[in-house]
Copies of this chain bind each other. A is one copy, B any other.
Amino acid sequence: MSNPLSTEELNGIDAYWRAANYLSVGQIYLFDNPLLKVPLRKEHIKPRLLGHWGTTPGLNFVYAHLNRIIKKFDLSMMYITGPGHGGPGLVANTYLEGTYTEHYPSITQDEAGMQRLFKQFSFPGGIPSHVAPETPGSIHEGGELGYALSHAFGAAFDNPDLIVACIVGDGEAETGPLATSWHSNKFLNPIHDGVVLPILHLNGYKIANPTVLARISHEELDQLLRGYGYTPYYVEGDDPDKMHQQMASILDQVAHEIQQIKRQARENNDPTRPRWPMIVLRTPKGWTCPREIDGKQVEDNWRSHQVPMGEMHENPDHVRLLEQWMKSYQPAELFDEQGAPRQELTALVPHGERRMGANPHANGGQLLKSLCLPDFRDYAVIFSSPGSVKAEATRVQGKFIRDVMKANLPTRNFRIFSPDENASNRWGDVFEVTNRGFVGETLPGDDHISADGRVLEMLSEHQCQGWLEGYLLTGRHGFFNCYEAFIHIIDSMFNQHAKWLKVCNHIPWRQPLASLNYLLSSHVWRQDHNGFSHQDPGFIDHVVNKKANIIRVYLPPDANCLLSVTDHCLRSRNYVNVIVAGKQPGPQWLNIDEAIEHCIAGVSIWDWASNDHGDEPDVVLACCGDVPTLETLAAVDILRRVLPELKVRVINVVNLMKLQDPREHPHGLSDREFDIMFTTDKPIIFAFHGYPWLIHRLTYRRTNHKNLHVRGYKEEGTTTTPFDMVVLNDLDRFHLVEDVIDRVPKLGAKAAHIKQKLRNKLIEHKQYITEHGQDMPEIREWNWPQAEQ
């Protein structure tokens, strides 16, 4: 290994590292006396010590060295901190490079500013202890481990001149999502995508345990990383001078190799997947903190994970030890009398947007360009009367998405992510204009696969979500196309993204991002192949727990409504939009103008299906979701025939949040609007796509809630016919009619007769399907009576 650093360079980079370490320790411990100008006393120390030291010196070490190669090779680089617990480190570095002060002018580069920097950390009214939206240069919180590499690759897609350095902690490396995300290199095009430089940081310990990858043999580790498709370079040790030389030497080599790979790919227009370089950095956990405290090993041990020593207000020895520790970084060499970093340090920092805290990709809203959108009306299903035409809603949507893809090919800022469900969910037409992206061997039987495809289909919801998040956070647009049941796999990732967006809304310098859009199809009611394990409509329950101003949920009843909703979602900013829509052929209810009007309203009375003629109805039949809408209209059809005197009002809900109180959600109907629509005292039979309790949770404050009766999925299902699925959950037309009869008081003797007929119908249904394996023709072929005119 060569020693590329001159003595001066070595001293400089070490000084920078010590400064970052000093600032990190200061944030964790100090309330005052930031430069240790007077002897440290317990009054200078925070009353509550919160933060994580263990990973921080390693993160600072990497940051310092990346700055060097950024300057040397004039690189555009982002820094993704897998170990989000290293918050103090990233704050320290962005403070040193000046970006922190640019965003937070009161945190000046002087003694007073340093005191404020220290105090605010993990302090009420201050900043979180993790890397967070507040941290300049970050797109990644890291509080929940597992997604660093997925985010990094998401950022690199379509950013050919960007290098995303991604620190993977060895704790994080044990998670499932991280373990599979190494394979992202099979989806990265070396010509028109950027580069991800993974840096696996083996510091040996998690909270209280050794890590797996730090305790396998070098041989196995090397095989594993080569098996993932990388060429690992090792930087291992604890002697700072040697480590600086090693790291510099290897980064020179890696930067050179990356440039070669890129040049070769571009010059030869050859997207063959290279073996990308990566770095394995093995350092002691808590590197440079006291080796022992109170007779117990701390440096190079799990004990340095959080705050290496406490009891600062009770134990004067600890105060002395902290002072020694902080002075071991030689602060007087690092900061001038006023507390500003000395010129020798700041000279090592890249300029302007080359600083990682100022890289524009890390505040992606700055770079966001609106999508060029074709007119969604052009894709409308045309028909004469409700129910007269059948269509597969998501297939219609797919044609629109195809042309969105096509219109934005030149700007390369729209991608689709799906766990192998893009075609299954009926977006196959997209493959007329782009392919599935895969950077590897293709065979003659493959279907629309190439290295430049813009539909990424790895069978990992975690990857899809992580890539998409990284893509959005760096200022682009996308869609996640998923089976409804299995979107729960990323529940926790959704949480983190929603939390990130919520916080960003309060940070003025964070520019708005494109919304995270989900299409959930192959939904609970039409899992004909897959049965019970594929039936779960609960993601929306999960979503609505997050902050209302982030969350939007749409359940369009037909293709034209789906088009309108899709267009709206693609234009929106800073939301998570959840769209639930079926892929099976179904009747179409609204022409495109009606659909637009309905979607803008979010919830409407469907006059054409109602017979209350503007009067107060006897009963309200509400529906939300495509299958519940179908069953509701079929129930209305029955009611018209058997109880023509009954005044029925049909309401369809496309924007779920309209149901909620406007004090809870900005889309909520006012109480007056709600009362006019749903009445204040008439029975409401509500057929819902998901778990019925969600409707109660959203409407419990409404005047007429006591008369609200909801049908939905109640965890009954198996591999059976489509109609049997709704029967199993009492959501079918016959049960809905029975629900009406049970709740409308004046029907008298006739009611018992009708109910008996309905029950016979259900018995007939069960017998028929058990014999024939499919639904009765009268069920399969039912249509809205007007449609037959």
Contacts and interface: CB of A to CB of B under 8 A. Distances in A.
A69 to B, nearest CB: 28
Nearest to A428: B208
Contacts of A460: 174-176
Given A227-B221, A460-B176, A531-B130, A209 B144 contact: no
Contact of A50 (B141, B696, B719): B719
A181 B174 CA distance: 9
B705 A700 contact: yes
A250 B768 CA distance: 50
Contacts of A485: 144, 492, 495
A773 interface: yes
A327 interface: no
Contact of A773 (B31, B491, B532): B31
A628 to B, nearest CB: 17
Given A171-B459, A225-B227, A420-B209, A130 B495 contact: no
A34 interface: no
A772 interface: yes
Interface stretch (A211-219, A575-583, A601-609, A677-685): A211-219
A721 interface: yes
Contacts of A175: 176, 180, 459-462
B211 A144 contact: no
Interface string A410-431: 0000000000111110000000
Interface stretch (A15-23, A120-128, A610-618): A120-128
Interface string A217-229: 0001111111111
Interface stretch (A92-100, A539-547, A629-637): A539-547
A457 B782 CA distance: 56
Given A50-B529, A216-B440, A459 B124 contact: no
Contacts of A183: 174, 179, 212
A511 interface: no
B224 A770 contact: no
B207 A420 contact: yes
Given A700-B696, A718-B128, A538 B545 contact: yes
Contacts of A208: 420, 422-424, 447, 457
A719 to B, nearest CB: 5
A442 interface: yes
B445 A300 contact: yes
Interface stretch (A191-199, A373-381, A496-504): A496-504
B545 A715 contact: yes
Contacts of A143: 530-534
Contacts of A705: 700
A673 interface: no
B186 A216 contact: yes
A463 interface: yes
Contact of A772 (B47, B186, B440, B445): B47
A344 B478 CA distance: 58
A210 B144 contact: no
Contact of A486 (B144, B542, B546): B144
Interface string A685-712: 0000001011011001000010000000
Contacts of A402: none
B51 A529 contact: yes
A215 B176 contact: no
Contacts of A181: 176
Contacts of A122: 529, 719
Nearest to A444: B297
A446 interface: yes
Interface string A112-139: 0000000000111111111010000000
Given A215-B441, A447-B208, A459-B175, A495 B536 contact: yes
A452 to B, nearest CB: 16
Contacts of A84: 533
A495 B488 contact: yes
Most chain B CB atoms below 10 A, which of A222, A424, A530: A530
B46 A172 contact: no
A206 interface: yes
Contacts of A531: 128-130, 132, 143
Nearest to A447: B208
Contacts of A442: 210
B545 A532 contact: no
A539 to B, nearest CB: 9
Interface in A494-538: 495-496, 499, 502-503, 528-534, 536, 538
A696 B544 CA distance: 14
B176 A146 contact: yes
Given A50-B528, A531-B143, A176 B129 contact: no
Contact of A47 (B220, B459, B774): B774
A145 interface: yes
A566 interface: no
A400 interface: no
A611 B207 CA distance: 46
A693 B695 CA distance: 11
Contacts of A757: none
30 contacts: A47-B774, A48-B528, A123-B719, A123-B773, A124-B770, A125-B770, A128-B719, A129-B719, A132-B532, A132-B533, A144-B533, A144-B534, A174-B180, A175-B180, A179-B180, A186-B212, A208-B424, A216-B229, A220-B228, A223-B224, A224-B228, A226-B227, A227-B227, A302-B445, A496-B533, A544-B693, A545-B691, A545-B693, A697-B697, A700-B700
Please provide the 9 A-B residue pairs with the shortest distance between their CB atoms, ordered closest to farther: A224-B227, A143-B533, A176-B176, A223-B227, A179-B180, A179-B179, A488-B492, A176-B177, A174-B459
